[in-house]
Every structure is written in C-alpha cells, then in structure tokens.
Amino acid sequence: MKKSIRDVEVTGKKVLVRVDFNVPLDPKTNEIMDDSRIIASLPTIWYLIGRKAKIILCSHLGRPDGKVVESLRMTPIAERLSQLTSLPIYTVSDCIGPKVLKAVDKLKNGDILLLENLRFHAEEEENDPGFSSDLACLADVYVDDAFGTAHRAHASTYGVAKLLPAYAGLLLEKELRVLGDLLENAQHPFAALLGGAKVSDKIKLISNMLGKIDILLIGGGMAATFLKAHGYSVGLSAVEEDKVGLAKDLTEKAGAGKVELVLPPDIIVADAINDTAKYAIAPISMIPADKYIVDIGPQARELFTEKLKPCRTVFWNGPMGVYEIEQFGRGTRAMAELLGNLHATTVVGGGSTAEIVTEMRLGFKMTHVSTGGGASMSFMEGKTLPGVQALQDE
C-alpha cells in the first residue's frame, strides 16, 4: 500500500494536488456537462482545507496538444469548484513560471489556487524533467488524487512524485482499495459483465480475472467475435478476425477454470447503425447476413439478470450495445438498473460505463463508480500504474 495524505503533516505547507478535472464541456457554450470528477476530488480538498494547507490544484483538460487553446482553459472548472465549495478559487494564466510562483506566494492557509491546463505545455505528456522540476518548485508536498491519469507516466503524475514527498489523495486511496479488494478479497459468486466494441481491449482483463471470477457475461460489440468463435455467423458486425482464435482459447480457459461463460442467446439486429435504422430481435443462430448486431436481446437481458441476481460481487465495464442510440441502449440500461438494485458489491469500471451510470443517475446506488477508464482497466489487468508506483510506500 501507499502512504496517503493522512500520513503527512500539511498545516502551513504548500501542497501540489494532481486532480482529474478533465470534464466534458458543451462545444457551444463551454459549460461543464458532467461535474462528477470535480465532486470526486472534494474529500481531499476539504481534508487539506481543514488542516490549513496552501492548496495548489493542477489538472489537464481535453487534448490541446501542447499549445494554448482558449476553449480548454480551466476557467469554467474554477467557477464550478467555487460553486461546490462556496469558496474563492484563485486562478493563474499558466501552470509554471514567475507568475505562478508569485500567485503561490500570496496563498494563505486554506486558500486554493487552480493552475492553468497542464497540457498547454507539450512537456507535460513527455514527462520532461525540466517541466517536472518547475512544477515541483511550487510546493513542499505532492498529492496524487487523479486516478484517471495514474496509468500515464506524465510530468504531473510521475516526474513530480520523484522530486517531492509524494502521497495518495483520498480518492486515489479509495480507488486502489476498492479495486484491490475486487482482485484479492471479493465475495462469491463473483461476476464480470463485459461489453464494449473490441475483444482486444479486454483480453488482458479477462485473462487476469478468469482465476478470480465465477461467471463471465459478454455483451456489446465484442460479443460478435465470441459468437464467431462459437461457430455462429454474425452478419455485417465487426469481428476482430485475428482475435477469434483467442476468444476460443479464453472460452476453453474459462471452462477449465470452472468459470461459467455466458453469451447472449438473442440480440438486436439492424440494417444500419443510426437512429432511423430498422431493427428486430434475432436468436444468435439466425443472425441475417445483411444486418449488424446493435444490442443484446430481451432473452439475453433476462438470462443476464438471472445469472447476476445471486452474485455477491459484480464488476461491469463496457456497454451492451450502441448505447448512444436510444433504441439500441435497452440492454445497457437494463444492466445499469439491475446492478443499482442488487444486494451486492457493484463496481463500475470507469470510462463510458461510468458516464452511462452517471447519466442515468444511478451512481449513488453502486458500491463504487471508478473515475478512471483506462486506469481501472490497467489495474484490473494486473499492471503497475506509474502514477501509483511513484508514491511513497507505507
């Protein structure tokens, strides 16, 4: 385990906190569309305020590719954070340099300064030693509370942690505890519900979890590759041909490990992937050659429900269909509602799945909704996360 901010005296100290404020903005109004990542950072911020630290927050926003993009400034983030805390949030027009040092020097105990978008500097993603040093000279202590970027070895997530006493924030600590318990101490029956477009995105995850779970349920676009591996025709659906053999191997490994692999018995097929497409229900043995698989069918929803209801632990990552199109999102919505009402530990693995749960306002009904898509996947694959590895050990 890693040391957390509970393990260091911060009163009167300048604390650089890497947060994940990479929130979606409305392209027309530049208003924040989902502030859940900002809300997730509040326990750490309040902890530091309560201990009279001088708080310096830093984050990236979007993909400005190393140059200043006006629409990706941190101004709307500062405004929302001020609304959530009822406190003034000071800002500065850069994240390093003399202006920033001057702003930091003005901070009083309990004050909050939000630096400008880290990725306005290309050196951030390059983990440039000079940029890391420029960030480190702003503070006495470094805190990483950005689980969503913990799988990246960037200057603000890795380089700075090598130069300052480095600790986990309360959000990062919670993510590591919850996901770690899933891999090591889960209550059984333990199910993994996996969807999304590609098998290739989930191979390492499935391989690492096969020895830990009792049931593996497959939906989404990746189901097409598994169905083909089981001898079914899948129409016009995208299949990763080079992964069909691997899907067979994973199926055999599941059987050998006494893991029940559940594929949808029926699916929704459509003549196109848009909101005006004609669609119908089809058993997996009769998928038309000129149709696309776009969702799991009603029998599949019933079967998945039957399999998940007795479970004590469920990990979910990936939609069951083309969720963005209303009529092809029924399977995904059904699974979200089911998990929200299970008497079990339910963990949602970040990314688009977390966005779906948040959009449906079901986050509060889940045990944990991860703030990191790629990071949670990497962790569940058994990988070491650079942003975590760089922090001080207990």
* Structural domains in the chain, sorted by start: 5-171 (3.40.50.1260), 178-380 (3.40.50.1260)
Does the annotation mark 278 as catalytic? no
Q: Are 47 and 195 in contact (CB under 8 A)?
A: no
Contacts of 352 (CB under 8 A, 6+ apart): 196, 318, 319, 323, 373
Does the annotation mark 248 as catalytic? no
pLDDT of 288 reads: 95
392 CB neighbour count, 10 Å cutoff: 15
pLDDT of 179 reads: 95
Q: How far is CA 212 from CA 44, 203, 209, in A?
A: 32, 15, 5
pLDDT of 199 reads: 83
Helices 330-340, 298-308: inter-axial angle, 10-degree rounding: 20
The two three-digit tokens of residue 135, written as one number: 């960030």
Q: Are 18 and 85 in contact (CB under 8 A)?
A: no
Integer-rounded Cα radius of gyration of the chain = 23
Q: What is the DSSP letter of 124?
A: T
* Strands of the 279-283 sheet, one edge to the other: 279-283, 266-270, 292-296
Q: Per-10-residue mean pLDDT for the chain, 394 residues long?
A: 95 98 93 93 98 98 96 97 98 98 98 98 98 98 96 97 98 95 95 91 90 95 94 92 91 92 97 94 96 97 98 96 94 97 93 90 94 90 93 92
Q: Are 54 and 108 in contact (CB under 8 A)?
A: yes
Element (H, E) at 170: helix 170-184
Does the annotation mark 198 as catalytic? yes
pLDDT of 197 reads: 84
Active site residue: 3, 52, 198, 253, which one?
198
pLDDT of 198 reads: 83
Task: Give residue 160's identity as a one-letter amino acid code.
Answer: V
What's the predicted TM-score (pTM) here? 0.90
Return d(Cα 212, Cα 116) in angstroms, integer. Answer: 43
Q: Return phi, psi of residue 183, to 5°.
A: -80, -25
pLDDT of 12 reads: 97
Does the annotation mark 351 as catalytic? yes
pLDDT of 200 reads: 85
The two three-digit tokens of residue 181, written as one number: 């318990």
Active site residue: 169, 321, 349, 351, which one?
351
Active site residue: 2, 13, 37, 119, which one?
37
